[in-house]
Amino acid sequence: MTPQLASVLMPLMRGMDPERAHDLALRGLRFGLAGADRSADDPVLATRALGLDFRNPIGLAAGFDKSAVAIAPLMRLGFGFVEAGSVTPKPQIGNPKPRLFRLAEDRAVINRMGMNNGGLAVFLARLAHLPANRPAVLGVNIAINKDGAAPLRDYPALYAAVAPHAGYVAINVSSPNTPGLRDLQGEAMLRDILAAVVATRDALAGPRPPILVKIAPDLSPAAVEPIVETAVAQGIAGLIVSNTTIARPALRSAQKSQAGGLSGPPLKAAATELLRRVARLTAGRDLTLIGCGGVSNGADALEKIRAGAALVQLYAAFAYDGPALIPRMKRELAAALRRDGFKTVAEAIGVDAR
């Protein structure tokens, strides 16, 4: 089966309960039912970030495959990178159902999943079976359990555990669905967490993947600069801008009032504006930005790159359009880069943030 044929089935999936459809999609991916994108990427898309080579700058955001069920099949769909997780130290069932909602009229999603995942042991066992020669970079997103968490213990331990398998590790302190998690973005607590993770990284004898922090789009303007300064001071490699939002911009769907994090096109404007702000604050500094939030096509991807992102991520659009989205987005992004006079992705990074 090809990604295009697999995407033909998406209207059937949208007739199901969203969480059941998601679980079935992961199962189908695991067994190779989505096929693979065997076409060569346009050379204009090749880029280097975080000390890593990416075949293209388009990645799958964390949250789609929290327990690393289908990483290799997802990579074969043509992504430049796939971010697995969030993984927590212990298994976690998440919040009560229903907890995932389609906003079809807005092509958006609201989730209050609560980081349901199989826990670190299961996650590591699956990563251990991934081939060494992968078609995409693997990112791993780490977070703490809802109950019994000790951030200064758990984040460093998670980093050390996943480091042998990951191209980079993202620290999640911004999910709105775990009570108190966003409080960890406060300057003092974030500094202590990052210092502990960096100390663990520096003590490792094996691989030391770059560390990123994923931040919320709902930060007040006054809160953004301290986060950036803390990341720079601790030698963090980058920021992912941004997670889902608890804000509710103009929405049409009957599900618009559900509690949880909103993702998809309604998030794009706020997430991109935050990205531009962070890009201006980090100008001239060695901090890589990943743009996430509302990316649905090649034009959206280029907008994020021009706003300051070296790489971009998507989630909701993939849930709506299926595997055929990725080869289409790559063609659109390559055409858009050339149209705007760019010979490489790197040339376009941050041109609208200067």
Look up residue 117 and give its DSSP letter.
Answer: B
Active site residue 86: no
Element (H, E) at 132: none
What's the CA gap between 72 and 252, in Å, rounded? 36
Residue identified by tokens 């060569």 is 40
Instruction: From the candidates 86, 175, 263, 296, give the one annotated as an active-site residue.
Output: 175
What's the CA gap between 87 and 345, in Å, rounded? 30
Q: Identify which of 217, 321, 347, 354 has the alpha carbon closest to the alpha carbon of residue 4.
A: 321
β-bridge mates for residue 241, sequence order:
215, 291
Q: Which two tokens stand for residue 202?
A: 């520096």
What's the CA gap between 347 and 343, in Å, rounded? 7
Q: Identify which of 275, 167, 164, 179 has the alpha carbon closest to the alpha carbon of residue 228.
A: 275
Task: Enumerate the active-site residues.
Answer: 175
